[in-house]
Structure 1
Amino acid sequence: MNDLEIRRAAAVDVPDIVAMLADDPLGAERESPDDLAPYLAAFARVDGDPHQHLVVAVRGGRVIGTLHLTVIPGLSRRGATRALIEAVRVHADARGSGLGTHLIEWAVAESRRLGCALVQLTSDVTRTDAHRFYERLGFTASHVGFKMAL
């Protein structure tokens, strides 16, 4: 991974990020890569928030991975700050290369550096391969999650 750079995402990266978000059965149903306007607006909000760390993995000038890390201050756990990992994606032709592991290890190290006491993530119930991946990296399936569309 010596030739890999993990850096803060820029607006120019949004098309590549959205393409990766849409490149699986779940993403294909909920993403619209042909209309970048809502993604660019969302990027501006994310980029302007110091608690948001949207990064891309770049090799040879090409975006091949992404991850979104959110730092959440809280009162529980004696006022602990936690980190939330979301939107982990690896470009189809870079899967199996160890990039996903590298991205998660980066996120855990960055969470520690930022003073977080806990790092958490969610994964769709249908992503059983991802569940095994996260468990291999030391995450524990400890909670049941709920969502409500608004």
Structure 2
Amino acid sequence: MSYVTPGSRDRRRLVTDVREALRDLNIQLSLLNRRFGARAELKDVDWNCVDLLNRYGPLTPSALARRAGLHPATMTGVLDRLQRGGWITRERDPDSPDRRAVTIRARKERNAELYQLFSGMNQQMEQICADYTESELELIATFLRRTTEAGDVATRRLEDE
């Protein structure tokens, strides 16, 4: 592995290359998600909510709205669409003193459909990852997590402005 001097022209070019590659990745993933959503009959925001529920759920509507970056009033419409489509269930929370309290769960039996739609991308990712060592994959995963955290910080700053 070769290193470049901090502040050097080569380093600035490489950092620019990383930023440009991330922009390209963002565009391509947006296109993939749009196509995926069309096939699954899910709007982008609906798909994001199903994915969040599959990863972090079950969640309350307000917790899901926070994670998705949506206004609670918008979340109501999203949840209505997802329930009509059979992607989620709303369950009353029997332990809550508020009888209106609900928990949102993804319907796990629908995941096979999602996996099938993403199988092409998953196969491509397996092929790409096969070309890297374990330590390189650790480095890539760390970079992506840190980039995600940076995006979260930037998002919160924009919310506060």
TM-score normalized by structure 2? 0.24
Kindly name which structure, 1 or 2, has the bigger radius of gyration based on alpha carbons. 2
| Greater percentage in strand | 1
| Greater percentage in helix | 2
TM-score normalized by structure 1? 0.26
